[in-house]
Amino acid sequence: MDIRIKAAHRAYDDDLISINSLSALYQSVDFSSKQFDDPEKTLSQIDNNELIMAYYYQLANIQIFPDERLDVILRYFDFAKKSGLENIAYAITEQIIETFTPSAENSKIGIEIAFANIANKNFDDALKWLNLYEINNAKDKKIEYAKFLIDLNQNDNLDTVINYLSDSNLNFERIVFNDHYLFQRDDFVKYEDYNIVMRTNVTSHVELSKAVIPNMIENGWGKIVFITSIWGSLGTRNRAVYCMSKFALHGLALSLADEYGKDGISVNCVAPGFINIDETSNPGRGKERNDFLSSKIPVNRMGQPEEIGKTVKWLISKDSDYISGQVIVVDGGFQNSGSRGEAF
């Protein structure tokens, strides 16, 4: 069952199943009544995250008293955060969260319920809980961050992010930029989305870098990583504008590394090749397309998202302090292969 739940978690993250389907799977796990009589003992005996997620969900649903249900939900959220599954926990408990009423006695947990509502895009409810929590916790920096998330989700513009970064009292030591416009085919002469591509892939990185670099200079240390693409070094037909934007990012990173190295700031790029996520695995053509791409990659497979994550983690760690002004290519050898021109 734990393997099925793990697969379902991934399917939910990939928008292949609904939260209701995941909920039904959680409910199908056969816990005994005795196991619910002593939650602490039961949780100590379950040795994998997937079954613990299902147990907490069932436990929350059988609580009669609101206070006890709320306590279980908060413990559920705490476990899910530590396991990297908080978005699932927020989504699957949305109907339970709606039963809680903002009140003075519940104000201390307002920030947690607010974040859950933000994740579920219930922004009006999030603000109610946030305002309640702020009465007695005005200095909590999480309030400012929660308001930023609400503003960003409702306005969805670059100025919101820049203003937040510029006006906040946050210390910026490590920043990873991963905003990009889709890698789509275009006829260069007829292409009309030039400004959108450049604003998303280049201007946003320029403006956000300008917002965080002064703080890094003040601290005497900082790490910036741009997620770019192998097409920022290669170029390919029918994607001239996209490739141009990625070339620009490489130039920006190398120039910033040279300019601010004296201030203790390193700037690097991670350039992924074909990674097995929705955009590049191309569900419309499915396994056939994946197999075709894999055959053009020397290691004979597409990359996994976590392989990009591990590279970024290294670049923002102290282990990479002498690395700056570099484009780290993660592509299974594709860029240097003789068959790269056949991939399209």
Domain's final residue, options 57, 74, 100 = 100
Considering the domain architecture, whether residues 44 and 114 belong to the same structural domain is answered as no
pLDDT at 196 over 70: yes
Over residues 211-221, mean pLDDT: 88
Both 236 and 336 in one domain: the answer is yes
Note every long-range contact of 337-341, with CB atoms under 8 Å and residues 24 or more positions apart, other chains counting.
337/296, 337/297, 337/298, 339/296, 340/234, 340/296
Residues 81, 219 share a domain: no
* Higher local confidence (pLDDT), 5 or 107: 5
Q: Is residue 163 part of a domain?
A: no
- The verdict on 253 and 318 lying in the same domain is yes
- Together in a domain, 89 and 109: no
> Is pLDDT of 344 > 60?
no
What's at 269, amino acid-wise?
Answer: C
Are 203 and 257 found together in one domain? yes
CB atoms within 10 A of CB 318: 7
Domain check: are 150 and 204 in the same one?
no
- One-letter amino acid for residue 291 of the chain: D
Same domain, 3 and 79: yes
Residues 6+ apart with CB under 8 A from 210: none
Is the pLDDT confidence value at 168 over 50?
yes
CA distances from 290 to 200, 231, 280, 282, 332 (A): 27, 19, 8, 8, 14
pLDDT tens-place string over residues 279-331: 444 444 456 777 888 888 899 998 888 899 899 999 999 999 999 999 999 99
Residue 57 predicted with pLDDT over 70: yes
- What's the average model confidence in pLDDT over 136-154? 77
Are 145 and 179 contained in the same domain?
A: no
Q: Which residues are catalytic?
A: 242
Q: Is the pLDDT of residue 278 over 60?
A: no
Which domain covers residue 47, as residue numbers? 1-100
**What pLDDT was estimated at residue 157?**
60
Amino acid at 312: V
The answer to whether position 7 is within a domain reads yes
Q: What is the CATH number of the domain that holds 225?
A: 3.40.50.720
Q: Do 134 and 7 belong to one domain? A: no
pLDDT given at position 189: 61
55 and 124 part of one domain = no
Q: Identify the pLDDT of residue 147.
A: 79
* Best CA proximity match to 208, nearest among 185, 176, 239: 176
**45 and 146, same domain (yes or no):** no
Provide the number of structural domains found in the chain. 3
Query: Within a domain: residue 151?
Result: yes
Instruction: Inform me whether the pLDDT recorded for 343 exceeds 60.
Output: no
pLDDT at 187 over 90: no
* 165 within a domain of the structure (yes/no): no
pLDDT number for residue 280: 41
